[in-house]
Amino acid sequence: MVKIKIKDLSFAYRKSEVLKKLSINIKSGKLTAFIGPNGSGKSTLIKCIDNILPVNRDSIFIEDKDVKSLSNNQKARLMAYVPQQEREVFSLTVYETILMGRKPYIGWAPLASDYSIVNQVIEDLDLENISSAFLNELSGGQRQRVLIGRALAQEPEILLLDEPTASLDLKHQLEVMLLLQKLAQSGMTVTIAVHDLNLALKYCDNFIMLNNGEVFANGGKEIFTPENIRKLYAVDVEILNLRNSIFIAPQMPV
């Protein structure tokens, strides 16, 4: 089933057009990757879907609901967004930050169920040993996992992440991608902007290649061809099949 429908979406920063009449369907319960070179529009598209960047009416629908018609609280219960990094690091602990994800559901005070959800998120993201630390005491990679935790605490139907593994070491890259894969398999619609093609190939279901603000290719792993990669990144590659997995090996220039 289509969860997110994008129809003729365009977006410009001042006079610089970044997205050009994009039309995309994103299926529910899938881990979808936006890939493409720098400046192709990946991060902008993620922000448009979450309505962080203003879009026209009738351009982005969540099932049958125009995102422009959603209240902030409705949107927060439906979608959660994880930026590449938080612009401001507040004087909150890891636990308090993740608890903020429960804000759309909390009345006068958090309930036992809210604390239970936060505790589970902290366990899933291996944050127990730093749960009492303040955000400004953490490394960039640790903060990134906390931001993912805050989003998961919202219990959204749709999770949008902009380069979620960019600041993480290899171990935590794999752990985060495995967690996102499991969330998608459980029914959540997970969409990420990502640069690491091999990481995307290992964990993602669907792929949308963007170039110059337009859809270059859209589909499954079959769109990863040497020709498409060459056109998209201006790099020659070899596509390897090892142990039923596909790997992209860049070719060194002679």
Looking at residue 48, which CATH number applies to its domain? 3.40.50.300
First to last CA, the chain: 47
145 and 251, same domain (yes or no):
no
pLDDT for the residue 129: 94
126 and 246, same domain (yes or no):
no
The span from the CA of 35 to the CA of 42, in Å, is 7
Q: What is the mean pLDDT of the chain?
A: 90
Quickly state the pLDDT bin for 230 (edges 50, 70, 90): very high
The span from the CA of 164 to the CA of 145, in Å, is 8
Quickly state the pLDDT bin for 254 (edges 50, 70, 90): very low
The three-state secondary structure class of 62 is strand
| pLDDT at residue 63 is higher than 90 | no
Nearest CA among 124, 243, 98 for reference residue 178: 124
Quickly state the pLDDT bin for 114 (edges 50, 70, 90): very high
pTM of the full structure:
0.90
- pLDDT tens for 134-180 read 988 888 788 888 999 999 999 999 999 999 988 788 888 888 899 89
212 and 188, same domain (yes or no):
yes
| pLDDT at residue 194 is higher than 50 | yes
169 and 237, same domain (yes or no):
no
| pLDDT at residue 74 is higher than 70 | yes
122 and 248, same domain (yes or no):
no
166 and 246, same domain (yes or no):
no
- pLDDT tens for 5-55 read 999 999 998 888 899 999 999 999 999 999 999 989 999 999 999 988 988
In total, how many domains does the chain have? 2
Query: What is the residue range of 180's domain?
Result: 2-223
199 and 231, same domain (yes or no):
no
The span from the CA of 107 to the CA of 104, in Å, is 9
The span from the CA of 167 to the CA of 35, in Å, is 17
234 and 187, same domain (yes or no):
no
| pLDDT at residue 90 is higher than 80 | no
109 and 74, same domain (yes or no):
yes
pLDDT for the residue 214: 94
Quickly state the pLDDT bin for 253 (edges 50, 70, 90): low
Nearest CA among 146, 44, 126, 127 for reference residue 85: 146
Nearest CA among 139, 128, 140 for reference residue 98: 128
55 and 142, same domain (yes or no):
yes
pLDDT for the residue 185: 93
List C-alpha distances in Å: 27 to 8, 41, 143, 204.
18, 20, 29, 12
